[in-house]
Amino acid sequence: MDPMHLVVGVVLAGVLIVTWIGIRGGARTSHTLEGWIVSDRGMGPVMTWFLLGTEVYTAFTFLGLAGFAYARGGGVFYNVATNDVGYALGFLLLPAIWLIGRRFGYVTQSDFIAGRYQSPKLGVFVALCTALIMIAYVDLNIEGLGSVLSVLLGGRIDLTTAEALGFVILTLAVFFGGIRGNAIQSAVKDILMFLSIATLLVLVPAHYFGGFGRMFERLMTEIPDRITMPGPTHRLGLSWFVTTVLLTGFGQWMWPQWFNVAYTGRGPRTLKLQAVFMPFYQLVKVAVITIGFAAILIFAGRNVPGNDVMMLLAKDLFPPWFLAIFALAAVLSAIVPAGPIVMVSSTLLARNVYAKLRPGTSGRTVFALSRWLVFPITLLALLLALVAHSLIVVILLVAYDFIAQLLPGVLIGGILWRRATGQGVFAGLLFGWVACAILHLMGYEQVFGMATGFVVLIGNFIVFFVVSLMTQPVEKAVLDRFFRTIYSHDPVTPGPVG
């Protein structure tokens, strides 16, 4: 019997079992929209930790990060610094979002924006645009799944069929299990990920170099220019590094699916605890980057796709039974993190676009539409990956540039500056998204050595402040109630804004 048949069989069985566990675990809370999308705001710190971990540490971390280190060198460390900045900001930001969401009944980022600026139209605009960006972002997970399967299957099964099967399983898990089911699946996926990467980190130096000391010695003496900035491309310099870390670190919570983590928590303390302990996940990134650097020496002279590095090493080092565990962790890292993205995208379209354009839509209809939209959204992502692959890659490369443009409206105007207006947010977003599109279409990955999105964000801030000062702010009584929710110590009781 071909050992790969055994591996594939174990992986398929494992995915089905984890899917069933998630569906059973989340079914109890998935009878209402609030239960389905934010688990009735009842998750404790452990489940919140796993939920956020699976959204941050995806197939890109498991596979793509090693490929980045392998192909582009020392600039890869931006990805570690990004999360360090993001967790520090999350410690301050997420409890405030929870307080506001609990009081006003918000379950999406668009709810927050529309309520803060008393502008349903702005909420619709943001919901539609971010949902489209997130649909494209699902393709990152499809790319990861394709990389795993291409190495694992070696042409035994058509990749398109295998990817479609993986995302059919995802939609069923999301439809029935909701966010709590996804959190349970995340715990299984992350435990397997920790075990797999830790084992590979130990075996790679021992097998190929004779130990960690010898491996690091060779890295320092043979390829010092590959493991430091600006790397082999000579473009990832200090200015790029600093501006990229600031852009992605502060922009991390602008992703609607990560923003929504704040609504799932049991309370502010839960969110602070997960922010404190989330940096433990960074050990995974350091391990993957180290393996990616080692692969430069291991695959010297061979034309190896960067995204395949981790799977090729695992296939070479592990016996079939452990390769099955490693491959299962990699497949789950592609499938499970897509769940919250699809859920939040469908809810944004149903609750914050359809229901706002069709006043009088019942809550039951919104909930049903949110769940059923999971299927066409996932199908659209698969089709885009097949027919517009090059376009999707471009979108993914600049996704953070676009999503970070929400920063003035969400962080500054939403939490810190009462004078901000909806018109200012809209004008800033319009400037930011149009400028990003133009610059990237013209081929500008950097501007003056800095991340393109960061330079555009500066312009966005200027437009945001100027237009806000020129337009009428929200009524004082509404602002008082909104900001008092964040900064007072009064008990939080649900109620309408305004």
Greater model confidence, 398 or 24: 24
**DSSP element (H, E) containing 395:** helix 389-397
pLDDT (tens digit per residue) in 357-386: 998 899 899 999 999 999 998 888 888 777
Q: Return the closest-CA partner of residue 305 out of 145, 61, 66.
A: 66
Q: Evaluate if residue 230 carries a pLDDT over 70.
A: yes
The token pair that represents 147 in the structure block: 């990389």
**DSSP element (H, E) containing 402:** helix 399-403
Distances (CA, A) of 57 to 141, 172, 416: 11, 22, 29
pLDDT of residue 384: 75
Every domain of the chain and the residues it spans: 3-390
Q: Return the closest-CA partner of residue 22 out of 6, 39, 4.
A: 39
pLDDT of residue 239: 92
- Nearest-10 Cα torsion for 208, 211, 216, 218: -50
Q: How confident is the model at residue 204 (pLDDT cuts 50, 70, 90)?
A: very high
Greater model confidence, 161 or 23: 23
DSSP letter string over 42-107? Answer: -B-HHHHHHHHHHHHS-HIIIIIHHHHHHHHGGGGGHHHHHHHHHHHHHHHHHHHHHHHHHHHT--
Q: Evaluate if residue 394 carries a pLDDT over 50.
A: no
The answer to whether 78 touches 244, Cβ cutoff 8 Å, is yes
pLDDT of residue 300: 87
The whole-number average pLDDT for the span 104-118 is 95
The whole-number average pLDDT for the span 266-275 is 90
pTM of the model: 0.89
pLDDT (tens digit per residue) in 310-361: 888 998 999 988 999 998 998 888 888 888 889 999 999 999 999 999 988 9
CB proximity list for 386: less than 8 A, separation 6 or greater? 160
Q: How confident is the model at residue 391 (pLDDT cuts 50, 70, 90)?
A: very low
pLDDT of residue 393: 42
Greater model confidence, 19 or 61: 19
Greater model confidence, 266 or 394: 266
pLDDT (tens digit per residue) in 423-482: 999 999 999 999 998 998 888 888 888 999 999 999 999 999 999 999 999 999 999 999
**Hey, which of 23-27, 69-73, 404-408 has the most confident mean pLDDT?**
404-408
The token pair that represents 119 in the structure block: 């502008």
Instruction: Give the CA radius of gyration of the chain.
Output: 22
CATH-assigned architecture of domain 3-390: Up-down Bundle (1.20)
pLDDT of residue 157: 63
